Amino acid sequence: MNILSIDVRDGATDANMAVYKLKGHLDAQTVRDLEARFEQQMKAARVRWVVDLQELEYISSAGLGSFVGVLSELRSQGGDIFFIGLSPKMEKIFKVLGFTRIFKVFATEAEAAKAFKAV
């Protein structure tokens, strides 16, 4: 049984920003937990998300799909998803799928926060 640990905290400089730290395996099973956390944040009207993939070992297509699934709703409320901490392998996956055309990717949380400020 693969495990995904999800830690959601406030942004270091922007309390309106939710920073998701994912660790382990994000697959068709564990994606349900992640989607539940998505819903919590949406209900709390927090729509600026930074997702840290630094410690994510595996992501399945269902896992990737979950981000696409919430994106339009987030954007309609003035939010977005920015990714940070992509390993070379994740970068390749993002590039092959065309995710880099949909999502912005940053090196650090501070850069992502700055990008949100600029919106």
With CB under 8 A as the contact rule, the residue among 26, 64, 86, 112 that binds another protein is 64
> Within its chain, how far is the Cα of 36 from the centroid?
13
Q: What do you get for the CA distance between the two ends of the chain, in Å?
A: 40
62 near another protein, rule: CB under 8 A: yes
The sign one gets for the Cα dihedral 28, 26, 17, 113 is negative
Interacting span for another protein (CB under 8 A) from 47-55, 63-71, 75-83, 109-117: 63-71
C-beta closer to another protein: residue 50 or 59: 59
Q: Which amino acid is at 58?
A: Y
66 near another protein, rule: CB under 8 A: yes
Cα(80)–Cα(28) distance, integer angstroms: 23
Binding mask 80-109 for another protein (x = CB under 8 A): ---------------xxxxx-xx-------
Residue with tokens 């901490």: 85
12 near another protein, rule: CB under 8 A: no
* Least distance in angstroms from the C-beta of 99 to another protein: 8
Cα(71)–Cα(43) distance, integer angstroms: 15
With CB under 8 A as the contact rule, the residue among 10, 39, 65, 87 that binds another protein is 65
